């Protein structure tokens, strides 16, 4: 399911890019992440793998990883960009409003719907972006607890 560091590293080199310490740190960070991270977060967490990882390098590496389709940018509410490793195939995210935990929905069941959209609008559909928000089981449990405590 999830790619390993080796797999990512290989794909990286195969396409003619050097696998430096900073880049390795960024890949490790993304692998360990349970939700999309902002560039600043990637720098912060990445520094545990590469002491002086610079924010600029994070930006440049993310751009490269996006080009290689190894990472995808997702729209997260507040200040827009979050980055997560892309999983093979087409997926959608369900994001918890409280704790920002992300669950991926693998497989996309929108095919029929999109066909009907194409028919109704006359557009040739080339892509779509679906983001679902909700509250995860854990946060709901916590909220129930809080309300009894109040």
Partner DNA sequence: ATGAGTGCAAACCGTTTGCAATCGG
Partner DNA sequence: CCGATTGCAAACGGTTTGCACTCAT
Nearest to 59 by CA among 39, 75, 45, 38: 39
Joined together, the tokens standing for residue 93 give 């995210």
18 forms part of the interface with a second copy (CB under 8 A): no
20 forms part of the interface with DNA (CB under 7 A): yes
CB closer to a second copy out of 32 and 125: 125
The DSSP secondary-structure symbol of 3 reads P
**At closest approach, how far in Å is the CB of 9 from DNA?**
8
Q: What is the DSSP string of 47-64?
A: TTTSTT--HHHHHHHHHH
For residues 53 and 46, the answer to whether their CB atoms sit within 8 Å is yes
CB closer to DNA out of 21 and 34: 21
**At closest approach, how far in Å is the CB of 5 from a second copy?**
27
54 forms part of the interface with DNA (CB under 7 A): yes
CA atoms of 149 and 69, how far apart (whole Å): 46
**Partner that binds at residue 15, options DNA, a second copy, none, CB closer than 5 to 8 Å by kind:** none
Joined together, the tokens standing for residue 136 give 């995860």
**Partner that binds at residue 13, options DNA, a second copy, none, CB closer than 5 to 8 Å by kind:** DNA
Joined together, the tokens standing for residue 25 give 């740190």
CB closer to DNA out of 4 and 79: 79
Chain positions 52 to 111 lying near a second copy, rule: CB under 8 A, are 75, 80-81, 94, 96-97, 103, 105, 109-110
**Partner that binds at residue 22, options a second copy, DNA, none, CB closer than 5 to 8 Å by kind:** DNA
Task: Determine the length of the chain.
Answer: 150
């Amino acid at each position: 399911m999830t790619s390993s560091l080796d797999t990512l590293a290989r794909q990286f080199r195969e396409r003619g890019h050097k696998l430096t310490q900073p880049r390795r740190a960024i890949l490790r960070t993304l692998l360990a992440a349970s939700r999309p991270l902002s560039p600043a977060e990637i720098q912060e967490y990445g520094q545990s793998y590469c002491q002086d990882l610079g924010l600029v390098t994070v930006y440049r590496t993310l751009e490269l990883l996006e080009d290689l389709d190894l990472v995808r940018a997702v729209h997260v509410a507040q200040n827009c960009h979050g980055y997560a490793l892309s999983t093979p195939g087409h997926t959608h995210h369900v994001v918890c409003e409280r704790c920002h935990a992300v669950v991926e929905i693998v497989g996309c069941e929108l095919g029929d719907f999109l066909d009907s959209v194409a028919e109704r609008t006359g557009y040739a559909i080339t892509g779509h972006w679906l983001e679902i928000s909700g509250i995860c089981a854990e946060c709901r449990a916590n909220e129930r607890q809080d309300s009894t405590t109040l």
